[in-house]
Amino acid sequence: MAIPKSVAALAVIVALFGSGCTQPDPNAAPTYTCTPSDGGTPAPCYKAEYDQQVKEDALYAEAEAVYRKYVAEDERIYRMGGIDKPTPVLLEVATGDFLQDLVIIYQASKDTRTKFVGGTLVTVWLRPAPSSATPDSLVTMQDCRDASTVKIVTPGEDTVLAGYTSTILHFVREGGSLKIGSAQGKVVDGCQAIERLL
């Protein structure tokens, strides 16, 4: 007796689905360890969860590399007294509103001949901030920078210290490259005093 074509087609579909991703055995113990991206206690997890964690960790590492390149260029520009237009490095690491805002600030520094002098600017910490993500951001991080020994010098005005700042940075993918697309920052009393994300 011939097998109807519809039954044969159904058997092929079932076989294809069966050969793909399988669900973990609910009775099996997880054999991997996952650590939440925004900190916390490592916990047992299954391979699918572990694989997702590895992808997230790689994305955060990529974002950190972009961030480190940005802060180095940011300090360089402030120490030279501002710029009129984006540098090649800024175009590599920044885009959108973030880039536009930076250029406005750098132009104002140049117009007023304001610059950073002396001291050391340090990123005290940089950490994932997924709870502060926006719908457009691929990855979100928060930093705290200590420029408390850096002088802000403007001719004709009192010299002040740069102090501490904390910023939430939203990264987006543009043309295959990860860039900072927007940010929200504020002056803080110190990096150790921040217990929660902004």
Residue-range domain boundaries for the chain: 34-188
- What's residue 53's pLDDT? 82
With b for 16 or more beta-carbon neighbours within 10 A and e for fewer, the 161-191 pattern comes to ebbbbbbbbbbbeeeeebbbbbbeeeebeeb
- What's residue 194's pLDDT? 60
- What's residue 30's pLDDT? 74
Rounded Cα distance, 183 and 142, in Å: 9
Whether 145 and 184 have beta carbons less than 8 Å apart is answered as: no
Instruction: Report, as ranges of residue numbers, the positions in the chain whose pLDDT lies below 50.
Output: 1, 3-22, 196-198
Choose among 193, 140, 141: nearest CA to 164. Answer: 193
Spatial CB neighbours of 166, under 8 Å, sequence gap ≥ 6: 142, 143, 144, 145, 185, 186, 188, 191, 194, 198
- What's residue 41's pLDDT? 76
CA 104 to chain CA mean position, Å: 22
Alpha helices in the chain (DSSP H): 5-18, 47-80, 88-93, 96-112
Phi, psi (degrees; rounded to nearest 5) at 119: 65, -175
- What's residue 47's pLDDT? 81
Phi, psi (degrees; rounded to nearest 5) at 68: -60, -40
- What's residue 44's pLDDT? 81
- What's residue 185's pLDDT? 92
Rounded Cα distance, 180 and 134, in Å: 13
Whether 81 and 112 have beta carbons less than 8 Å apart is answered as: no
* Angle, helix 96-112 to helix 47-80, in steps of 10 degrees: 20
Phi, psi (degrees; rounded to nearest 5) at 85: -145, 160
Architecture of domain 34-188: Roll (3.10)
